């Protein structure tokens, strides 16, 4: 397998998950700042011009974080990264979509890719502030979603890796303090060897 990723981007979720699973994979960096996602070579891999993308052993490519994470869980059933219980599984998808379908594209993107929401630079401050509000609202929903903690459910699931990338952004990009349950989750994930290895490989710090 080969993971196409960009350091510190949302592909951190899949990179850490692959490290947790522990099976051999290659990692190829895509420099988003240099617009490598728009190069003809990468567009052949993923016409959406996004990361992550996972090139599987059969030559097919899988895109979208939730889809990739689900496939990895289903093809590594011994790790039980996706609950068998219907309610628990629904909760996993609920929180993944909160982050990957709302907090990231509607919140974080407003803050860091403001031009996607308005062509008028005079509106940037308003758009960015709304983005921060969306992230804060999402953090409130996330905080209320945790069970006993520190993991999202009572054991490690794919949701924890997607939650982690958002928490990492909140700490290192927005420079905010996480709410108590999210903070406990973040610290528990930061203690995992798979997280430490990934952050080291991507060139990012372990702690705030």
List pLDDT tens digits, range 7-22: 999 999 999 999 999 9
Q: What is the CA radius of gyration of the chain?
A: 17
Nearest CA to 8 among 152, 166, 176, 128?
166
Looking at domain 86-192, which CATH architecture does it have? Up-down Bundle (1.20)
> Do 86-192 and 2-79 fall under one CATH topology?
no
pLDDT digit string, tens, across residues 29-47: 999 999 999 999 999 999 9
The answer to whether domain 2-79 has CATH 3.40.30.10 is: yes
- Please say whether the beta carbons of 185 and 167 come within 8 A: yes
Q: Alpha carbon 144 to chain centroid distance?
A: 19
Sign of CA pseudo-dihedral 133, 134, 137, 143: negative
Nearest CA to 174 among 88, 106, 112, 97?
112
Domains of the chain, residue spans = 2-79, 86-192
The Cα 24–Cα 121 span in angstroms is 45
pLDDT digit string, tens, across residues 80-132: 999 999 999 999 999 999 999 999 999 999 999 999 999 999 999 999 999 99
Sign of CA pseudo-dihedral 199, 204, 205, 208: negative
């Amino acid at each position: 397998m080969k993971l196409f990723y960009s350091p510190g981007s949302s592909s951190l979720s899949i990179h850490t998950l692959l490290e947790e699973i522990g099976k051999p994979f290659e990692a190829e960096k895509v420099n988003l700042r240099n617009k490598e996602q728009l190069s003809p070579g990468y567009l052949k891999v993923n016409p959406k011009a996004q990361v992550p993308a996972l090139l599987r052993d059969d030559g097919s490519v899988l895109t979208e974080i939730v889809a990739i994470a689900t496939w990895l869980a289903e093809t590594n059933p011994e790790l039980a990264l996706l609950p068998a219980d219907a309610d628990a599984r629904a909760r996993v998808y609920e929180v993944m979509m909160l982050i990957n379908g709302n907090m990231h594209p509607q919140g974080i993107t407003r803050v860091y890719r403001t031009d996607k929401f308005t062509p008028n630079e005079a509106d940037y401050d308003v758009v960015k502030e709304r983005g921060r509000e969306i992230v804060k609202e999402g953090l409130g929903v996330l905080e209320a979603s945790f069970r006993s903690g520190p993991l999202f459910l009572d054991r490690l699931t794919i949701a924890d890796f997607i939650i982690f990338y958002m928490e990492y952004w909140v700490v290192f990009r927005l420079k905010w303090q996480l709410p108590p349950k999210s903070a406990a989750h973040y610290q528990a994930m930061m203690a995992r060897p798979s997280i430490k290895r990934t952050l080291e490989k991507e060139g990012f710090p372990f702690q705030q």
